[in-house]
Amino acid sequence: MTWAGRARLEPIAIPLGALVATLVLFGAFVALAGNNPLDVYYEMYRGAFGSWFSMQNTLLRASPLMLAALCTALPARLGLVIIGGEGALVMGGLAAAAAGTAVDGASPPLAILLMMVAGFSAGGLWIALSGAMRAYRGVNETISSLLLTYIGIALLNHFVEGPLRDPSSLNKPSTRHIADAYMLGPMPGLDVHWGLGLGLVACVLSYALMYRSVFGFSAAVIGGNLRAARLAGLSVRKLIVVTCFLAGGAAGLAGMVEVAAVHGSANASLVAGYGYAGILVAFLARQNPLAIIPVALLLGGINASGGLLQRVFGLPDATVNVLQGILFVLILASESLYGRLALLQPRAPQADRSVKLAVV
């Protein structure tokens, strides 16, 4: 294998190995529960991709995962570990619901645009707060973003059960329902809302920003060598805050989509775990925005198959969460393998070795 081939193989082979190991361990788990692992995997495939209905259900679950994953993937370019996507999603959904009810009577395109701006801004400011604390006060962004998630959920409960509560929502407190005209409709030819389109566009634009622009190159320099970035005159603090704002904005858009395409209002159902699952998607995709798309489809399919496992095998609906948990642990553990597997390490070209021998 060529030098370049080995260099490209490692980021693919190690996550794939973690995925295979996950399937083995999860297979042992379902076998202990008295089920045939191969039958379980077949039903998972059937529930995720086995029919057009299943495929569309997978796409519905994948769209918020794409946006939530960007909340972790974009700051990772600067060496930051942000895990507060759930909080940004919740704040984005709450802001979008408030905006949708506040502009009742406006034209649908304008109202949807305002909800998108509100959701993006609320989620962006939420994660930008964590980035600012890291940039200006040295506060660990992983801890602060996680703690801000709990604050965001508490604020959601406060506003949904208090100032923004719809008096007609008795058993399940929620904000007032936005007008039906403001709901995101299905994409042409699909029974899937436009949130999928937003997710795809966001991933493509994020890749272009982070891998094909001066901004992305500056972010990579900061992530690779902070001291060199400062010596080069880069505005490190500004780049951190702006990147965190964009990352939180993506998760905020996911919250807006959940309100404008699924629930129609902000309520406790916004806390569905998409923000946490987005962390797994980002790590499995190696923080690459384009790779997030197929990984989100995979995780969306796993989530979509939970109900079928319950009906066919009598397994709890949360069984798929066990699979995701095993996968997350193994993905984190596999990080220590990068640069250490001799089989995957790029060898020096023959010409270089000849030069070294000549020098000796």
- How far is residue 50 CA from its own chain's centroid? 24
Tokens representing residue 155 in the block: 């604020």
C-beta atoms surrounding 164 within 10 Å: 19
Average pLDDT, the chain: 89
116-173 pLDDT tens trace = 999 999 999 999 999 999 999 999 999 999 999 999 999 999 999 999 999 888 788 9
Q: Do residues 152 and 90 lie in contact, with contact meaning Cβ atoms separated by under 8 Å?
A: yes
| List of residues 6+ apart from 21 with CB closer than 8 A | 330
Owner of token pair 């973690």: 18
- Strand ranges for the chain from DSSP E: none
| List of residues 6+ apart from 157 with CB closer than 8 A | 268
Which of 110-114, 210-214, 223-227, 331-335 shows the lowest per-residue confidence on average (mean pLDDT)? 331-335
63-120 pLDDT tens trace = 999 999 999 999 999 999 999 999 999 999 999 999 999 998 889 999 999 999 999 9
* pTM of the predicted model over 0.85: yes
Q: Do residues 327 and 18 lie in contact, with contact meaning Cβ atoms separated by under 8 Å?
A: yes
Tokens representing residue 237 in the block: 């603090």
**Nearest Cα to Cα of residue 47 among 304, 324, 300:** 304
Owner of token pair 């045939």: 36
Which of 8-17, 21-30, 184-193, 282-291 shows the lowest per-residue confidence on average (mean pLDDT)? 8-17
Contacts 24+ apart (CB under 8 A), 215-223: 215/239, 216/77, 219/77, 219/78, 219/243, 220/77, 222/78, 222/79, 223/76, 223/77, 223/78, 223/79, 223/80
Residue 360's pLDDT band (cuts 50, 70, 90): very low
List the domain boundaries for the chain: 62-297
In a 3-state reduction of DSSP, which class is residue 247? helix
In a 3-state reduction of DSSP, which class is residue 62? helix
Residue 2's pLDDT band (cuts 50, 70, 90): low
